[in-house]
Amino acid sequence: MDNNTLCPCVADALFGTRQITVAGKTVGITGLDAAFAAVQARGLTGDAAISAELLRRIRENNYIPPALEGEYAAAALTEYRLALAKNKSVNHTYPIY
């Protein structure tokens, strides 16, 4: 490996990439925790509003295949709910836009 190549674990740490399962496949999502914090800060309620906002924010840094938008939204909402249940609050160390 040359000096211009980051190993995936280093890139994950630098760019805030987390892995989630979407449609049975493991995918890396950059900025997922930041999206969670932003959605929580907005105080959105209802699954449709939360998943739409999560999808909008995730799309800023990630490619989401149009045919899988529903699956990405569902997976993001599931992860968001798990993060809230686990932490009672998501990490607010990221800027909220």
> Which helix (H) or strand (E) element contains residue 20?
strand 17-22
High-pLDDT (> 70) share of the chain, %:
74
DSSP state for residue 25 in the 8-state scheme: E
The per-residue pLDDT for range 36-70, each reduced to its tens digit, is: 999 999 999 899 999 999 999 999 999 999 999 99
pTM score, whole prediction: 0.75
The DSSP element (H or E) to which 83 belongs, if any, is: helix 69-87
What's the rounded Cα separation, in Å, for the pair 2 and 21?
A: 31
